[in-house]
Amino acid sequence: MSLLKRLFDAVGGTASHAFANVVETVRTVFAGDPETRRKVAFSVAMIALSAKMAKADGVVSKEEVAAFQDIFAIPDEEAANVARLYNIAKQDVAGYDIYAERIAGLCGSGHSNCAMLEDILDGLFHIAKADSLIHQKELEFIAHVADIFGFDEEHFDRIMARHVHPEGIDPYQVLGVEPHAPFDEVRRRYRKLAADSHPDALLARGVPQEFLAIANDRMAAINAAFATIQKQQRVPA
């Protein structure tokens, strides 16, 4: 039985009325299997918040649909369940803040700035920017979700810098170091971010294999930022 089918069987008919019940059921159904719970929680979070972001923006472009499919390589046996979850979330009258609060409670560490929650924010940015323009309502949506997730302003600005840069990418902000920081400090910061963002690290914290486009996007931004600073400071490669 697929994981989402197992989830639906546990939720029963209440799923048709409140997606929040689906989120809460993840906690109990997979309580004895933390690794599986993280994977299901991440999938449910991306489906629910993507649906709510589409509703908040009011326009779902074909590029955004393609981006959703890009990070959500849906197995054939899960396609109907994913579609069902997406439609329930989109139609549910509950505000997305309720979903975000419950999803934050499912985070493996339970701490602010939990790594899995950053993965979710990256996924939302990945979808929102697919049509080459992040609309103001989409940005407000993601910023509010980040606030509910417990991200401080500095951390959120660093995440946003990887995706939103109308005046050009600021490599120092992407890495979270001060402009003109010594290169040794830049390199230490780069190595830590690269280790935390490696696909193996995402898999270890419960991001499903299908979502590794998120890791690739993040690594590309981090690598580009480091290379830019290296060139600016004229440090040999």
List pLDDT tens digits, range 64-111.
666 666 666 666 776 777 777 777 777 765 677 877 887 787 664 444
Does residue 229 carry a pLDDT above 60?
Answer: yes
Which alpha helices (DSSP H) does the chain contain, by range? Answer: 3-11, 19-29, 34-57, 62-71, 79-91, 96-105, 115-128, 136-149, 153-161, 171-175, 183-197, 199-204, 213-232
Q: How confident is the model at residue 22 (pLDDT cuts 50, 70, 90)?
A: confident
Q: Which amino acid is at 15?
A: A
Percent of the chain with pLDDT over 90: 22
pTM: 0.79
Q: Exposed (0-12), middle (13-18) or buried (19+): which is 32, by Cβ within 10 Å?
A: exposed
